[in-house]
Amino acid sequence: METDNRFYILFPNHHQGLRLSQLLRERGIDYLIAPTPRQLSTCCGISLIVKGGDLEEASQVIAEHEIVVEKIAPAPKRDGDWKYRSC
């Protein structure tokens, strides 16, 4: 998945996130399961990353299946090249 123009979908719990991932997979919409970046939430847990171009369709799926979403936010911008760091 390209790194520009991506959006994070955040959920109140992982069940909602896994449900949406399943639905997106069935619809053929590309996504990534990712840990939520600290810039977007102070809590830990899963988010889904979708491409900007797929956001409208993903939002339709969310509405159709009443997935509970906490927020949808653009991926935080990175300053220059990433340098390896330990965690």
Partner 1 sequence: MADYREMWSNLDMDLEKHDVLCQVLPEVFGEVYLSQQKRPRGMDFYDFVVSEIHGVRPAELIEHQKSGGKVFGTFCVYVPDEIVFAAGGIATGLCGGSQFWVAAGEKVLPPNTCPLIKASVGARLDKTCPFFRIADMFVGETTCDGKKKAWEILASEVPMHVIDIPQMKRAQDVNAFEREIHSFIKVVEDFTGSKISADSLGESIKLINNKRKALQRLYEARKAAAVPISGKDALLVTQIAFYDDPSRCAQMANQLSEELEERISRKEGVFPEDTLRIMISGTPMAIPNWKLHHIVETSGAAVVVEESCTGTRYFENLVDETAPTLERQVRALAERYMKTNCACFTPNSARIDDILRLAEEYKVDGIIDTNLQFCNLYSTESHLVKQALAEKNIPVLHLETDYSEQDFEQLRTRVQAFLEMLRE
For partner 1, which residue of 45, 55, 57, 72 counts as binding (CB under 8 A)? 45
Exposure string (b/e) for 9-43, b if CB count within 10 Å is 16 or more? bbbeeeebbebbbebbeeeebebeeeebeeebeee
Does the footprint of partner 1 cover residue 37 (CB under 8 A)?
yes
Does the footprint of partner 1 cover residue 23 (CB under 8 A)?
no
Does the footprint of partner 1 cover residue 25 (CB under 8 A)?
yes
Residue ranges binding partner 1 (CB under 8 A)? 1, 3, 10-14, 17-18, 21, 25, 32-38, 41-47, 49, 70, 82-87
